[in-house]
A and B are shown apart, each in its own frame.
Chain A
Amino acid sequence: MPSVMLRNNAAGDLVFYITKKDQEETVVALEHSGPNAWGGEIELADGSRFYLEPFAQTPKLPMTVRVKRL
């Protein structure tokens, strides 16, 4: 369960930052993007996929979360 930080970059894209690896990757697909659910399956620009337990509401970013590797 890697710990990652989610934030919006200057261009407004959602960015996935893997703290342990100092690696930044743009999110290309997010399963639920609000307003009643936010999270679920996440796909990154490099093709890797993660799962984030969905939040009931759109959270305030940036935020550190635990995700599961798929």
Chain B
Amino acid sequence: MTMNRQETEQLIQEVLEVYPDATGKQRAKHLMANDPTLEKSNKCLVTNKKALPGVMTARGCAYAGSKGVVWGPIKDMVNISHGPVGCGQLSRGGRRNYVTGYSGINVFAEMNFTSDFQEKDVVFGGDKKLATIIDEINTLFPLVKGISIQSECPVGLIGDDIEAVAKQKAKEIGKTIVPARCEGFRGVSQSLGHHVANDTLRDWVLSNRDGQEPTIESTPYDVVLTGDYNVGGDAWASRVLMESIGLRVIGQWSGDGTLSELELIPSLKPKLNLLHCYRSMNYISRHMEEKYGIPWLEYNFFGPTQIAKSLRAIAARFDETIQANVERVIAENQAEMDAIIAKFRPRLEGKRVMLFVGGLRPRHVIGAYEDLGMEIIGTGYEFAHNDDYDRTFKELQDGALIYDDATSFELEAFAERLKPDLIGSGIKEKFVFHKMGIPFRQLHSWDYSGPYHGYDGFAIFARDMDMAINNPCWKKMTPPWKQKAVGADLAEAA
């Protein structure tokens, strides 16, 4: 059943009734029924506000945004989780940012480095310890290209001067050292961490080679892939696609990226900066446009419809050779895409999906589902701002439910009422919905699968969605509420 705007509004009202008045009023501003004709979201939606006390939110902290998302995947750097051991160790490897290289030799993305704060570091300050750690890292891992210091909460609370340590040590060891003030208590979600990380990239990395001649030659077909974190190999799928149309990828931010390629970008003056995750990397894209004159373009590589659209938009920025290449690549892949759709569409047609994810997926994956004949009945972001919702309305069907920073209660209540055939969200939501008997795919890390970007990715995406929804296990279980009442069997037998 597809709901119209009025019915969706009605549903929102009913779900909100459970809350105390003040909470209900606040939460009402974060929920709405989609109207694809809207251009701006600021009149109808409040976003990027602190989660309310007493509800369960799916958000992370600024440290998660800076260390976990933006800095973490840069493979030839060591990112020190500066503070107690838990923040880094407990979040380690969760995002599956794939890298090539030899772990512990020239690649460090899979390892966890921490200053392991103890009571005495909090009392006497951790700057000395930080300096020692930097020396140790440089001795143990001589091929490390740079070090970033990712502050955890205590560092901000005790007022350590990590900038001074970074500057001094950078001079001593002759490598890039970046202090990031991304203490978890800053801001309302990981979104501020993205911003902090972008600002540190701007101040401590991008300008490092200003005024120097590039060490490799530039071509008129250079592009940068920004905001692609290589989750399950996504950035590689995008890169292959770019190379197949004749463009040269000179940098990846930051999935499978290196510090050197980031430092090299401004001097190579790439033609275009291709921005995938707008939320986490728009800041640095805007800066590169202003300072270095590198224009940016948002793109979407989920599902053949969106891929073709994005490829054509990219080609429009280049000459006829690239445009011809794009048409050729689209035509070459058409048969394979048709075969995938012919195979899976009959099995998935009309299935209804609810999404609740992070930076760009709540809107970017819609096209891929629609290519398979599926319908998005609700979507929402954990930490989006209004500009993300501005970009979402057009992608989403009329009347679909939009929830910003949905609480766990709201998600469950909506799922109970809307009865979706599939939910795509994170690990914290996964098992709740499994217990409700609803097929689920984890859309942050692709549920240990992927890549989902590009033509190759779509094949995997379609298979995974089919596996989740048409898994025979769902028919073999009877949830408690559908079982006969206890004792009914006995009564029958008697």
Bound together: yes
List the interface of chain A (C-beta within 8 A of B).
5, 7, 10, 17, 22-25, 45-46, 62-64
List the interface of chain B (C-beta within 8 A of A).
39-40, 42-43, 48, 195, 282, 286, 289-290, 297, 385-387, 390
Given contacts A22-B387, A24-B387, A24-B390, contact A17 B286 (CB under 8 A): yes
A-B contact count, CB below 8 Å?
30
Q: Pull 7 A–B residue pairs with CB atoms less than 8 Å apart, ordered by A.
A: A7-B286, A7-B289, A10-B297, A22-B386, A23-B386, A24-B387, A25-B40
- Chain B residues contacting A64 (CB-CB under 8 Å) are 290
Given contacts A22-B48, A23-B42, A45-B40, contact A62 B386 (CB under 8 A): no
- Complex alpha-carbon distance, A45 and B43, angstroms: 12
Question: Which of A23, A46, A62 is close to B286, meaning CB atoms less than 8 Å apart?
Answer: A62
- Chain B residues contacting A63 (CB-CB under 8 Å) are 290
- Chain B residues contacting A45 (CB-CB under 8 Å) are 39-40
- Complex alpha-carbon distance, A10 and B40, angstroms: 17
A12: min CB distance to chain B, Å: 13
B245: min CB distance to chain A, Å: 20
A65: min CB distance to chain B, Å: 11
- Chain A residues contacting B39 (CB-CB under 8 Å) are 45
Beta-carbon contact of A5 and B387 below 8 Å = no
Closest B residue to A6 by CB, please name it: B290
Beta-carbon contact of A5 and B290 below 8 Å = yes
Chain A's interface: helix, strand, loop or mixed, by majority? Answer: strand
Beta-carbon contact of A23 and B290 below 8 Å = no
A18: min CB distance to chain B, Å: 10
- Chain A residues contacting B42 (CB-CB under 8 Å) are 23, 46
- Complex alpha-carbon distance, A17 and B289, angstroms: 13
Given contacts A22-B48, A45-B40, A46-B42, contact A62 B289 (CB under 8 A): yes
Most chain-B Cβ atoms within 10 A of its Cβ — which of A7, A10, A22, A45? A22
Closest B residue to A7 by CB, please name it: B289
- Complex alpha-carbon distance, A46 and B390, angstroms: 13
Beta-carbon contact of A46 and B385 below 8 Å = no
**Minimum-distance CB pairs A-B, first 6:** A22-B385, A62-B290, A24-B387, A62-B289, A5-B286, A22-B387
A62: min CB distance to chain B, Å: 5
A55: min CB distance to chain B, Å: 16
- Chain A residues contacting B387 (CB-CB under 8 Å) are 22-24
Closest B residue to A5 by CB, please name it: B286
- Chain B residues contacting A24 (CB-CB under 8 Å) are 387, 390
- Complex alpha-carbon distance, A24 and B289, angstroms: 16
Closest A residue to B391 by CB, please name it: A24
Beta-carbon contact of A46 and B40 below 8 Å = yes
- Chain A residues contacting B385 (CB-CB under 8 Å) are 22-23
Closest A residue to B316 by CB, please name it: A10
B388: min CB distance to chain A, Å: 9
- Chain B residues contacting A23 (CB-CB under 8 Å) are 42, 385-387
A19: min CB distance to chain B, Å: 8
- Complex alpha-carbon distance, A25 and B290, angstroms: 18
Closest B residue to A24 by CB, please name it: B387
- Chain A residues contacting B297 (CB-CB under 8 Å) are 10
Most chain-B Cβ atoms within 10 A of its Cβ — which of A17, A45, A62? A62
A5: min CB distance to chain B, Å: 6
- Complex alpha-carbon distance, A17 and B390, angstroms: 14
Most chain-A Cβ atoms within 10 A of its Cβ — which of B39, B297, B387, B390? B387
- Complex alpha-carbon distance, A65 and B136, angstroms: 44
- Complex alpha-carbon distance, A64 and B386, angstroms: 21
Closest A residue to B298 by CB, please name it: A10
- Complex alpha-carbon distance, A21 and B290, angstroms: 18
A59: min CB distance to chain B, Å: 11
Other A-B pairs beyond A5-B286, A24-B390, 20, CB < 8 Å = A5-B290, A7-B286, A7-B289, A7-B290, A10-B297, A22-B282, A22-B386, A22-B387, A23-B386, A24-B387, A45-B39, A45-B40, A46-B40, A46-B42, A46-B43, A62-B286, A62-B289, A62-B290, A63-B290, A64-B290
